[in-house]
Structure 1
Amino acid sequence: MWRTQIPKSIYARFFVSWSRVRREVLVLRDILLKFNARKVIEFGCGIGRHGYLLSKLGFDVLLTDIRDWRFGSARRMPFKIYDVLEGGNIGVFDAGYAMGLIIVFNYEQIIRALHNIGELLGKGIFIFDYNFTIYNEPREKIVRIRGREYRAIMMKEEIEPIEGGVLYKYRIDILDDKGNLVGVEDTEYPVYDKETIFKAIKEAGLKIEEIHWAKWDPIKYKYRLSKKEADSAFIAVRKTV
Protein backbone atom coordinates (compact mmCIF):
# COMPACT_ATOMS: atom_id res chain seq x y z
CA MET A 1 0.00 0.00 0.00
CA TRP A 2 1.06 3.61 -0.60
CA ARG A 3 3.24 5.25 2.04
CA THR A 4 5.59 8.21 2.21
CA GLN A 5 8.62 9.28 4.24
CA ILE A 6 8.56 12.86 3.01
CA PRO A 7 8.14 15.52 5.74
CA LYS A 8 4.61 16.89 5.56
CA SER A 9 5.72 20.51 5.10
CA ILE A 10 7.65 19.50 1.97
CA TYR A 11 5.02 17.02 0.81
CA ALA A 12 2.38 19.75 0.96
CA ARG A 13 4.36 22.05 -1.30
CA PHE A 14 5.19 19.42 -3.90
CA PHE A 15 2.02 17.36 -4.08
CA VAL A 16 -0.90 19.15 -2.38
CA SER A 17 -0.51 22.77 -3.45
CA TRP A 18 -3.22 25.26 -2.53
CA SER A 19 -4.00 25.82 -6.22
CA ARG A 20 -4.62 22.10 -6.71
CA VAL A 21 -6.74 21.83 -3.57
CA ARG A 22 -8.84 24.89 -4.43
CA ARG A 23 -9.75 23.41 -7.81
CA GLU A 24 -10.77 20.10 -6.24
CA VAL A 25 -12.71 21.81 -3.45
CA LEU A 26 -14.83 23.69 -5.99
CA VAL A 27 -15.92 20.36 -7.47
CA LEU A 28 -16.68 19.00 -4.00
CA ARG A 29 -18.62 22.15 -3.12
CA ASP A 30 -20.83 21.95 -6.19
CA ILE A 31 -21.71 18.30 -5.60
CA LEU A 32 -22.30 18.75 -1.86
CA LEU A 33 -24.60 21.71 -2.45
CA LYS A 34 -26.53 19.79 -5.10
CA PHE A 35 -27.28 17.06 -2.56
CA ASN A 36 -28.01 19.56 0.27
CA ALA A 37 -25.08 18.35 2.36
CA ARG A 38 -23.61 20.60 5.02
CA LYS A 39 -22.26 18.27 7.69
CA VAL A 40 -19.54 16.23 6.01
CA ILE A 41 -16.73 13.86 6.88
CA GLU A 42 -13.41 13.54 5.08
CA PHE A 43 -11.77 10.12 4.99
CA GLY A 44 -7.99 9.93 4.68
CA CYS A 45 -7.57 13.68 5.13
CA GLY A 46 -3.76 13.71 5.06
CA ILE A 47 -2.57 17.26 5.69
CA GLY A 48 -6.18 18.46 5.78
CA ARG A 49 -6.28 21.27 3.24
CA HIS A 50 -9.48 20.14 1.49
CA GLY A 51 -11.45 20.11 4.72
CA TYR A 52 -10.00 23.43 5.80
CA LEU A 53 -11.10 25.18 2.59
CA LEU A 54 -14.55 23.54 2.71
CA SER A 55 -14.98 24.82 6.26
CA LYS A 56 -14.19 28.31 5.00
CA LEU A 57 -17.06 27.85 2.52
CA GLY A 58 -19.49 27.18 5.35
CA PHE A 59 -19.43 23.38 5.59
CA ASP A 60 -19.23 21.58 8.93
CA VAL A 61 -16.28 19.24 8.33
CA LEU A 62 -14.77 16.44 10.41
CA LEU A 63 -11.31 15.31 9.27
CA THR A 64 -10.36 11.66 9.75
CA ASP A 65 -7.37 9.47 8.96
CA ILE A 66 -5.46 6.51 10.38
CA ARG A 67 -2.98 8.98 11.91
CA ASP A 68 -2.91 12.70 12.54
CA TRP A 69 -0.88 14.24 9.73
CA ARG A 70 -2.60 17.64 9.65
CA PHE A 71 -0.44 20.57 8.67
CA GLY A 72 -0.69 24.34 8.99
CA SER A 73 -4.17 25.85 9.26
CA ALA A 74 -5.81 22.41 9.18
CA ARG A 75 -4.46 21.66 12.65
CA ARG A 76 -7.30 23.78 14.02
CA MET A 77 -9.90 21.55 12.34
CA PRO A 78 -11.89 18.85 14.20
CA PHE A 79 -10.18 15.49 13.77
CA LYS A 80 -10.66 11.84 14.72
CA ILE A 81 -8.66 8.70 14.07
CA TYR A 82 -10.66 6.49 11.69
CA ASP A 83 -9.75 3.63 9.37
CA VAL A 84 -12.14 3.10 6.45
CA LEU A 85 -10.92 -0.49 6.12
CA GLU A 86 -12.05 -1.19 9.68
CA GLY A 87 -15.26 0.85 9.51
CA GLY A 88 -17.52 1.58 12.46
CA ASN A 89 -19.79 4.38 13.61
CA ILE A 90 -18.19 7.78 14.11
CA GLY A 91 -21.21 10.06 13.88
CA VAL A 92 -24.04 11.19 11.62
CA PHE A 93 -23.20 13.07 8.42
CA ASP A 94 -24.98 14.37 5.34
CA ALA A 95 -22.13 13.30 3.07
CA GLY A 96 -18.50 12.26 2.91
CA TYR A 97 -15.55 12.53 0.56
CA ALA A 98 -12.00 11.28 0.07
CA MET A 99 -9.33 12.76 -2.17
CA GLY A 100 -6.35 10.64 -3.19
CA LEU A 101 -7.42 7.81 -0.89
CA ILE A 102 -9.33 5.17 -2.84
CA ILE A 103 -6.56 4.95 -5.44
CA VAL A 104 -4.06 3.58 -2.89
CA PHE A 105 -6.18 0.47 -2.21
CA ASN A 106 -6.25 -2.86 -4.01
CA TYR A 107 -9.52 -4.16 -5.44
CA GLU A 108 -10.69 -6.00 -2.32
CA GLN A 109 -9.79 -3.03 -0.12
CA ILE A 110 -11.69 -0.66 -2.40
CA ILE A 111 -14.82 -2.76 -2.01
CA ARG A 112 -14.36 -2.96 1.77
CA ALA A 113 -13.71 0.78 2.12
CA LEU A 114 -16.67 1.76 -0.06
CA HIS A 115 -18.95 -0.67 1.78
CA ASN A 116 -17.90 0.67 5.19
CA ILE A 117 -18.33 4.26 4.04
CA GLY A 118 -21.77 3.42 2.66
CA GLU A 119 -22.78 1.85 5.97
CA LEU A 120 -21.64 4.95 7.85
CA LEU A 121 -23.28 7.49 5.56
CA GLY A 122 -26.51 5.60 4.92
CA LYS A 123 -28.35 7.56 2.23
CA GLY A 124 -25.69 10.27 2.25
CA ILE A 125 -23.56 10.92 -0.82
CA PHE A 126 -19.87 9.94 -0.97
CA ILE A 127 -17.47 11.65 -3.37
CA PHE A 128 -14.04 10.40 -4.35
CA ASP A 129 -11.52 11.03 -7.10
CA TYR A 130 -9.86 8.35 -9.16
CA ASN A 131 -7.16 8.50 -11.80
CA PHE A 132 -7.59 5.62 -14.24
CA THR A 133 -4.00 5.94 -15.41
CA ILE A 134 -0.67 6.55 -13.68
CA TYR A 135 0.10 10.11 -12.64
CA ASN A 136 2.95 10.31 -15.16
CA GLU A 137 5.19 12.19 -12.74
CA PRO A 138 7.84 14.56 -14.15
CA ARG A 139 11.41 13.26 -13.86
CA GLU A 140 12.34 16.27 -11.74
CA LYS A 141 10.43 19.05 -10.04
CA ILE A 142 11.80 22.05 -8.14
CA VAL A 143 10.01 24.18 -5.54
CA ARG A 144 11.09 26.85 -3.08
CA ILE A 145 10.11 26.65 0.58
CA ARG A 146 11.00 29.52 2.90
CA GLY A 147 13.75 30.68 0.57
CA ARG A 148 15.31 27.25 0.08
CA GLU A 149 15.20 25.14 -3.05
CA TYR A 150 14.07 21.51 -2.99
CA ARG A 151 14.12 18.98 -5.81
CA ALA A 152 11.90 15.94 -6.24
CA ILE A 153 13.66 13.39 -8.47
CA MET A 154 12.06 10.27 -9.91
CA MET A 155 14.63 7.57 -9.14
CA LYS A 156 12.66 4.47 -10.11
CA GLU A 157 9.45 3.72 -11.98
CA GLU A 158 8.02 0.30 -12.83
CA ILE A 159 4.64 -0.75 -14.21
CA GLU A 160 3.35 -4.32 -13.96
CA PRO A 161 0.08 -5.54 -15.48
CA ILE A 162 -2.52 -6.87 -13.04
CA GLU A 163 -6.13 -7.90 -13.49
CA GLY A 164 -8.15 -4.80 -14.32
CA GLY A 165 -5.19 -2.43 -14.43
CA VAL A 166 -1.53 -2.06 -13.51
CA LEU A 167 0.64 -2.07 -10.40
CA TYR A 168 2.63 1.15 -10.26
CA LYS A 169 5.96 1.11 -8.38
CA TYR A 170 8.16 4.15 -7.96
CA ARG A 171 10.70 5.93 -5.81
CA ILE A 172 11.00 9.71 -5.45
CA ASP A 173 13.91 11.31 -3.59
CA ILE A 174 13.67 14.82 -2.16
CA LEU A 175 16.96 16.75 -2.02
CA ASP A 176 17.58 20.12 -0.42
CA ASP A 177 19.72 22.88 -1.94
CA LYS A 178 22.84 21.31 -0.40
CA GLY A 179 22.17 17.93 -1.97
CA ASN A 180 21.05 16.32 1.28
CA LEU A 181 18.38 13.63 1.09
CA VAL A 182 15.48 14.97 3.17
CA GLY A 183 12.63 12.70 2.10
CA VAL A 184 11.83 9.49 0.24
CA GLU A 185 8.68 8.02 -1.25
CA ASP A 186 9.42 4.43 -2.22
CA THR A 187 6.11 2.66 -2.64
CA GLU A 188 3.53 1.10 -4.93
CA TYR A 189 -0.21 1.02 -5.54
CA PRO A 190 -2.59 -0.48 -8.11
CA VAL A 191 -4.27 1.65 -10.78
CA TYR A 192 -7.49 0.19 -12.16
CA ASP A 193 -9.41 0.99 -15.32
CA LYS A 194 -12.85 2.56 -15.06
CA GLU A 195 -14.74 -0.69 -15.71
CA THR A 196 -13.01 -2.29 -12.73
CA ILE A 197 -13.75 0.67 -10.45
CA PHE A 198 -17.39 0.76 -11.54
CA LYS A 199 -17.60 -2.97 -10.80
CA ALA A 200 -16.12 -2.42 -7.32
CA ILE A 201 -18.68 0.30 -6.61
CA LYS A 202 -21.49 -2.10 -7.47
CA GLU A 203 -19.98 -4.94 -5.43
CA ALA A 204 -19.77 -2.60 -2.44
CA GLY A 205 -23.53 -2.07 -2.62
CA LEU A 206 -23.33 1.46 -3.97
CA LYS A 207 -24.59 3.17 -7.09
CA ILE A 208 -23.14 6.04 -9.10
CA GLU A 209 -25.15 9.25 -8.84
CA GLU A 210 -22.95 11.38 -11.06
CA ILE A 211 -19.48 11.64 -12.56
CA HIS A 212 -17.41 14.76 -13.20
CA TRP A 213 -14.69 13.87 -15.69
CA ALA A 214 -11.24 15.41 -15.42
CA LYS A 215 -7.85 15.21 -17.08
CA TRP A 216 -4.69 14.95 -15.02
CA ASP A 217 -2.01 17.55 -15.74
CA PRO A 218 1.34 16.03 -14.62
CA ILE A 219 3.24 19.29 -15.06
CA LYS A 220 0.95 21.47 -12.96
CA TYR A 221 0.10 18.45 -10.80
CA LYS A 222 -3.63 19.08 -10.74
CA TYR A 223 -6.87 18.09 -12.43
CA ARG A 224 -8.47 19.96 -15.32
CA LEU A 225 -12.20 19.39 -15.63
CA SER A 226 -13.32 17.85 -18.91
CA LYS A 227 -16.67 18.01 -20.71
CA LYS A 228 -16.13 14.50 -22.04
CA GLU A 229 -14.84 11.22 -20.68
CA ALA A 230 -11.18 11.52 -19.66
CA ASP A 231 -8.44 9.78 -17.68
CA SER A 232 -9.74 10.80 -14.24
CA ALA A 233 -13.02 11.44 -12.49
CA PHE A 234 -14.77 12.76 -9.41
CA ILE A 235 -17.37 10.09 -8.65
CA ALA A 236 -20.42 10.60 -6.40
CA VAL A 237 -21.97 7.39 -5.06
CA ARG A 238 -24.44 6.26 -2.41
CA LYS A 239 -26.01 3.07 -1.04
CA THR A 240 -28.44 1.33 -3.35
CA VAL A 241 -30.91 0.63 -0.51
Structure 2
Amino acid sequence: MKKRFLILPLILCCFLIASPGWSQRAQKKDYLITLSTPYGAMKLILFDQTPLHKANFIKLTKEKFYDGLLFHRIIEGFMVQGGDPNSRNAEKGKALGNGDVGYKIPAEFHPDLFHQKGALAAARDNNPEKASSGCQFYIVQGKTLNSADLQRQLERKLDRIPRKPTETQKEVYQKLGGTPHLDGGYTVFGQVIDGLAVVDSIAAQAKDPRDRPMKDIPMSVSAEWMKKKNITKRYGYTFQ
Protein backbone atom coordinates (compact mmCIF):
# COMPACT_ATOMS: atom_id res chain seq x y z
CA MET A 1 0.00 0.00 0.00
CA LYS A 2 2.79 2.40 0.85
CA LYS A 3 4.41 2.19 -2.59
CA ARG A 4 1.08 2.62 -4.35
CA PHE A 5 0.32 5.71 -2.28
CA LEU A 6 3.69 7.27 -2.93
CA ILE A 7 3.38 6.89 -6.68
CA LEU A 8 -0.11 8.46 -6.76
CA PRO A 9 1.22 12.05 -7.08
CA LEU A 10 3.08 10.99 -10.22
CA ILE A 11 -0.03 9.47 -11.75
CA LEU A 12 -2.00 12.62 -10.88
CA CYS A 13 0.72 14.76 -12.43
CA CYS A 14 0.61 12.71 -15.62
CA PHE A 15 -3.19 13.08 -15.70
CA LEU A 16 -2.76 16.85 -15.55
CA ILE A 17 -0.12 16.74 -18.30
CA ALA A 18 -2.56 14.79 -20.47
CA SER A 19 -5.39 17.30 -19.92
CA PRO A 20 -6.49 19.42 -22.90
CA GLY A 21 -5.22 22.68 -21.43
CA TRP A 22 -1.78 21.27 -20.75
CA SER A 23 -1.61 19.53 -24.14
CA GLN A 24 -2.38 22.76 -25.96
CA ARG A 25 0.45 24.54 -24.15
CA ALA A 26 2.84 21.61 -24.47
CA GLN A 27 2.45 21.55 -28.25
CA LYS A 28 4.64 24.63 -28.41
CA LYS A 29 6.76 24.38 -25.24
CA ASP A 30 8.68 21.80 -23.27
CA TYR A 31 11.22 21.55 -20.49
CA LEU A 32 14.90 21.95 -21.26
CA ILE A 33 16.96 20.26 -18.56
CA THR A 34 20.42 21.57 -17.66
CA LEU A 35 22.66 19.15 -15.77
CA SER A 36 25.78 20.99 -14.58
CA THR A 37 29.01 19.31 -13.48
CA PRO A 38 32.64 20.35 -12.85
CA TYR A 39 33.36 19.18 -16.43
CA GLY A 40 30.69 21.29 -18.08
CA ALA A 41 26.94 21.30 -18.58
CA MET A 42 24.67 18.95 -20.49
CA LYS A 43 21.34 19.94 -22.01
CA LEU A 44 18.65 17.26 -22.06
CA ILE A 45 15.06 16.79 -23.13
CA LEU A 46 12.60 14.36 -21.53
CA PHE A 47 10.31 12.15 -23.60
CA ASP A 48 6.52 12.44 -23.63
CA GLN A 49 6.34 8.67 -24.29
CA THR A 50 7.47 8.10 -20.69
CA PRO A 51 5.12 10.43 -18.75
CA LEU A 52 5.64 8.93 -15.29
CA HIS A 53 9.43 9.20 -15.51
CA LYS A 54 9.23 12.66 -17.04
CA ALA A 55 6.89 13.98 -14.34
CA ASN A 56 9.00 12.46 -11.57
CA PHE A 57 12.29 13.86 -12.87
CA ILE A 58 10.80 17.35 -13.27
CA LYS A 59 9.29 17.16 -9.79
CA LEU A 60 12.61 16.21 -8.19
CA THR A 61 14.45 18.82 -10.23
CA LYS A 62 12.11 21.60 -9.13
CA GLU A 63 12.57 20.46 -5.52
CA LYS A 64 16.38 20.78 -5.99
CA PHE A 65 16.66 17.12 -5.02
CA TYR A 66 19.63 16.47 -7.31
CA ASP A 67 21.67 19.53 -6.40
CA GLY A 68 24.81 18.43 -4.60
CA LEU A 69 24.43 14.72 -5.37
CA LEU A 70 27.32 12.85 -6.98
CA PHE A 71 27.94 10.75 -10.03
CA HIS A 72 28.75 7.79 -7.82
CA ARG A 73 29.38 5.10 -10.47
CA ILE A 74 31.27 5.47 -13.73
CA ILE A 75 32.32 2.83 -16.26
CA GLU A 76 34.15 4.12 -19.31
CA GLY A 77 32.64 2.82 -22.53
CA PHE A 78 29.38 2.09 -20.73
CA MET A 79 27.65 4.79 -18.62
CA VAL A 80 27.80 7.30 -15.75
CA GLN A 81 25.29 6.99 -12.89
CA GLY A 82 24.00 9.36 -10.22
CA GLY A 83 20.98 10.34 -8.16
CA ASP A 84 21.68 8.42 -4.93
CA PRO A 85 20.53 10.71 -2.08
CA ASN A 86 23.13 9.08 0.16
CA SER A 87 25.86 10.57 -2.02
CA ARG A 88 25.31 14.10 -0.72
CA ASN A 89 28.30 14.91 1.52
CA ALA A 90 29.31 11.23 1.42
CA GLU A 91 32.65 10.48 3.01
CA LYS A 92 35.51 9.39 0.80
CA GLY A 93 35.49 5.71 -0.10
CA LYS A 94 31.93 5.10 1.11
CA ALA A 95 30.00 2.57 -0.96
CA LEU A 96 27.10 4.25 -2.73
CA GLY A 97 24.22 3.20 -4.93
CA ASN A 98 21.58 1.92 -2.49
CA GLY A 99 19.83 5.21 -1.67
CA ASP A 100 16.27 5.87 -2.83
CA VAL A 101 13.19 8.01 -2.25
CA GLY A 102 10.89 5.26 -1.01
CA TYR A 103 9.03 4.44 -4.22
CA LYS A 104 9.53 2.95 -7.67
CA ILE A 105 8.18 4.00 -11.05
CA PRO A 106 6.52 1.44 -13.34
CA ALA A 107 8.60 0.55 -16.40
CA GLU A 108 7.76 2.57 -19.51
CA PHE A 109 9.40 0.76 -22.40
CA HIS A 110 8.86 2.25 -25.86
CA PRO A 111 10.25 0.83 -29.13
CA ASP A 112 11.36 4.27 -30.36
CA LEU A 113 13.44 4.98 -27.24
CA PHE A 114 16.76 3.17 -27.08
CA HIS A 115 20.18 3.23 -25.41
CA GLN A 116 22.08 5.40 -27.86
CA LYS A 117 24.94 7.55 -26.60
CA GLY A 118 23.55 10.31 -24.40
CA ALA A 119 20.37 8.43 -23.49
CA LEU A 120 19.01 9.25 -20.03
CA ALA A 121 17.67 6.10 -18.40
CA ALA A 122 16.41 4.99 -15.01
CA ALA A 123 18.46 2.71 -12.80
CA ARG A 124 16.69 -0.16 -11.04
CA ASP A 125 17.22 -3.17 -8.83
CA ASN A 126 16.38 -6.75 -9.82
CA ASN A 127 12.62 -6.49 -9.22
CA PRO A 128 10.69 -8.72 -11.63
CA GLU A 129 8.49 -5.87 -12.90
CA LYS A 130 11.61 -3.94 -14.00
CA ALA A 131 10.24 -0.91 -12.16
CA SER A 132 12.63 2.02 -12.00
CA SER A 133 14.30 3.68 -9.07
CA GLY A 134 12.42 6.79 -8.03
CA CYS A 135 15.58 8.90 -8.25
CA GLN A 136 18.68 7.14 -9.60
CA PHE A 137 19.53 7.48 -13.28
CA TYR A 138 22.36 6.89 -15.71
CA ILE A 139 23.53 8.52 -18.92
CA VAL A 140 24.83 6.23 -21.64
CA GLN A 141 28.33 6.63 -23.04
CA GLY A 142 28.65 3.28 -24.77
CA LYS A 143 30.82 2.49 -27.77
CA THR A 144 30.44 2.53 -31.52
CA LEU A 145 29.67 -0.97 -32.75
CA ASN A 146 30.29 -2.74 -36.03
CA SER A 147 27.74 -5.25 -37.27
CA ALA A 148 29.37 -8.19 -35.48
CA ASP A 149 29.71 -6.31 -32.18
CA LEU A 150 26.12 -5.17 -32.39
CA GLN A 151 24.91 -8.72 -32.96
CA ARG A 152 26.95 -10.02 -30.00
CA GLN A 153 25.44 -7.39 -27.71
CA LEU A 154 21.93 -8.22 -28.84
CA GLU A 155 22.56 -11.89 -28.07
CA ARG A 156 23.67 -11.22 -24.50
CA LYS A 157 21.37 -12.91 -21.99
CA LEU A 158 20.07 -10.23 -19.65
CA ASP A 159 16.89 -9.71 -17.65
CA ARG A 160 15.18 -7.83 -20.45
CA ILE A 161 12.42 -7.99 -23.01
CA PRO A 162 14.03 -9.13 -26.28
CA ARG A 163 13.79 -6.37 -28.86
CA LYS A 164 15.29 -6.11 -32.30
CA PRO A 165 16.49 -2.59 -33.15
CA THR A 166 15.22 -0.92 -36.28
CA GLU A 167 17.60 -0.27 -39.17
CA THR A 168 17.77 3.38 -38.15
CA GLN A 169 18.65 2.43 -34.57
CA LYS A 170 21.32 0.03 -35.80
CA GLU A 171 22.85 2.86 -37.80
CA VAL A 172 22.92 5.08 -34.71
CA TYR A 173 24.61 2.35 -32.67
CA GLN A 174 27.23 1.95 -35.39
CA LYS A 175 27.93 5.66 -35.94
CA LEU A 176 27.23 7.32 -32.57
CA GLY A 177 27.43 4.37 -30.19
CA GLY A 178 25.46 3.09 -27.24
CA THR A 179 24.57 0.00 -25.21
CA PRO A 180 21.94 -1.98 -27.15
CA HIS A 181 21.98 -4.95 -24.76
CA LEU A 182 20.12 -2.76 -22.22
CA ASP A 183 17.16 -2.10 -24.52
CA GLY A 184 13.98 -3.59 -23.12
CA GLY A 185 15.48 -3.91 -19.64
CA TYR A 186 15.70 -0.31 -18.42
CA THR A 187 13.45 2.66 -19.16
CA VAL A 188 14.97 5.31 -21.42
CA PHE A 189 13.19 8.60 -20.70
CA GLY A 190 15.40 11.39 -22.03
CA GLN A 191 18.34 12.35 -24.23
CA VAL A 192 21.38 14.62 -24.05
CA ILE A 193 21.04 17.06 -26.94
CA ASP A 194 24.14 19.12 -26.14
CA GLY A 195 27.26 18.34 -24.11
CA LEU A 196 28.02 14.71 -24.95
CA ALA A 197 31.70 15.47 -24.35
CA VAL A 198 30.84 16.00 -20.69
CA VAL A 199 29.74 12.36 -20.46
CA ASP A 200 33.10 11.31 -21.94
CA SER A 201 35.01 13.48 -19.44
CA ILE A 202 33.12 12.08 -16.44
CA ALA A 203 33.51 8.47 -17.61
CA ALA A 204 37.28 8.92 -18.05
CA GLN A 205 37.98 9.88 -14.43
CA ALA A 206 39.97 7.66 -12.07
CA LYS A 207 37.79 5.44 -9.88
CA ASP A 208 38.00 2.97 -7.02
CA PRO A 209 37.22 -0.79 -7.20
CA ARG A 210 33.50 -0.02 -6.67
CA ASP A 211 33.52 2.29 -9.75
CA ARG A 212 33.11 5.39 -7.57
CA PRO A 213 35.18 8.32 -8.87
CA MET A 214 38.25 9.02 -6.75
CA LYS A 215 37.41 12.73 -6.96
CA ASP A 216 33.82 13.71 -6.23
CA ILE A 217 31.75 14.75 -9.25
CA PRO A 218 28.76 16.74 -7.96
CA MET A 219 25.81 17.81 -10.06
CA SER A 220 23.11 20.41 -10.13
CA VAL A 221 19.97 20.10 -12.24
CA SER A 222 17.52 22.76 -13.40
CA ALA A 223 14.48 22.83 -15.71
CA GLU A 224 13.46 25.70 -17.99
CA TRP A 225 10.08 25.88 -19.74
CA MET A 226 10.97 26.91 -23.28
CA LYS A 227 9.48 27.19 -26.72
CA LYS A 228 10.26 24.06 -28.70
CA LYS A 229 11.28 26.09 -31.72
CA ASN A 230 13.93 27.82 -29.60
CA ILE A 231 15.27 24.47 -28.39
CA THR A 232 15.42 23.27 -31.99
CA LYS A 233 17.14 26.47 -33.13
CA ARG A 234 19.78 26.37 -30.38
CA TYR A 235 20.53 22.66 -30.23
CA GLY A 236 19.28 21.18 -33.51
CA TYR A 237 16.94 18.75 -31.79
CA THR A 238 13.75 17.93 -33.69
CA PHE A 239 10.76 16.99 -31.57
CA GLN A 240 8.81 13.95 -32.67
Report if TM-score (shorter chain) is over 0.5.
no
- Which of the two has greater strand per residue? 1
Question: RCO higher in 1 or 2 (8 Å CA, sep ≥ 6)?
Answer: 2
Under a length normalisation based on structure 2, what TM-score does the superposition of the two structures give?
0.29
Under a length normalisation based on structure 1, what TM-score does the superposition of the two structures give?
0.29
